[in-house]
Amino acid sequence: MAVQPNIQMSSASVPLVHEVEVLDEAGRKKLTHIPGERSLTIYLDKREVVTLMTLGSAPEALVLGYLRNQRLVESPEDIESIQVDWETDSAAVKTRRNTVDIDALTSKRVVTTGCGQGTMFGGLMEEMSEIRLPDGPQLSQEAIVALIDAIRVHDSIYKRSGSVHACAVFERVGNDGVKLLHFIEDVGRHNAVDSISGLMWLADKPGQDLIFFTTGRLTSEMVIKGAQMGVPFLLTRSGVTLMGLELARKTNLTILSRCSGKHFEIYNAPERVIFTKIANFYRSVPDK
């Protein structure tokens, strides 16, 4: 059984949705909801690292996942505390020890296509050549459809206000089922995936048997973070970029896009997907 690291963490809450008055096309007043957006500046041992624009749904997990994915901290055991303070819009991270050369790492920045402009530090693209996910496991077509349906019916901020991205991680149950482990929404998909990465890191949860879903497109940044977590399956209801596909091929990551209802498209490593009776049904329907 995994032992959780002893990190002192705040549990900073903030309103995620706000009610505002608007005028419709007929000039009528009505109330609607919009998501919150606020800045969160991360300080690592009193050193300012980055300012993120976030919904604030899971700020401590977001900070932890950001530090993980940017390789600014080697292990959660190195972190003593994460304290988020919304009065100052800051997150103070204190480490027990840190062997990372932050100056060298942060000297090179890549502005990504992430919503709100994400940033990658250091030679992360070069380091991706060292990641190669093992063959397997496999995922049935029924499990994929069950996952898509679970996302469809899940209560979400998006259904109330729109303007957010969602990321979720599932584990397989039996041959054809899935179980939702984490569901995070944020104003940027890169923040949502970082938050889930932080939760997985905190729980010492390996990624090899998990499935990751995002409402946003699978860019190079999203594929990099999926490979870093060791998750073999990335699913999206949106599309895939060319660099995202190239990185998926290099890291042996299965990516599925246009996931809606019973429909999806596999862009890489299709051998992990088990086509079953659903596929047989579609094959029996003649082309129009």
For residue 210, what are the β-bridge partners? 171
Report pLDDT for 136: 82
Report pLDDT for 97: 86
Report pLDDT for 30: 96
Burial of 266 (0-12, 13-18, 19+ CB in 10 A): middle
Model confidence at 280, pLDDT cuts 50, 70, 90, reads low
For residue 35, what are the β-bridge partners? 17
269: three-class secondary structure by DSSP: coil
Question: Comparing 63-72, 232-241, 270-279, which segment has the lowest mean pLDDT?
Answer: 270-279
Pick the closest to residue 95 from 103, 83, 86, 104 (CA basis). 83
For residue 33, what are the β-bridge partners? 19
Average pLDDT score, the chain: 88
d(CA 73, CA 205): 17
d(CA 285, CA 110): 47
131: three-class secondary structure by DSSP: coil
Q: What is the pLDDT of residues 111-141, one digit of tens each?
A: 454 554 455 555 666 677 788 999 988 999 9
Question: Comparing 6-15, 128-137, 176-185, 217-226, which segment has the lowest mean pLDDT?
Answer: 128-137
287, pLDDT greater than 90: no
Report pLDDT for 107: 59
Place of tokens 């996302």: 151
Q: What is the pLDDT of residues 85-103, one digit of tens each?
A: 999 999 999 999 877 777 6
Q: What is the pLDDT of residues 157-193, one digit of tens each?
A: 988 888 899 999 999 998 899 999 999 999 988 999 9
Report pLDDT for 117: 45
The proportion of the chain whose per-residue pLDDT surpasses 70, expressed as a percent, equals: 86
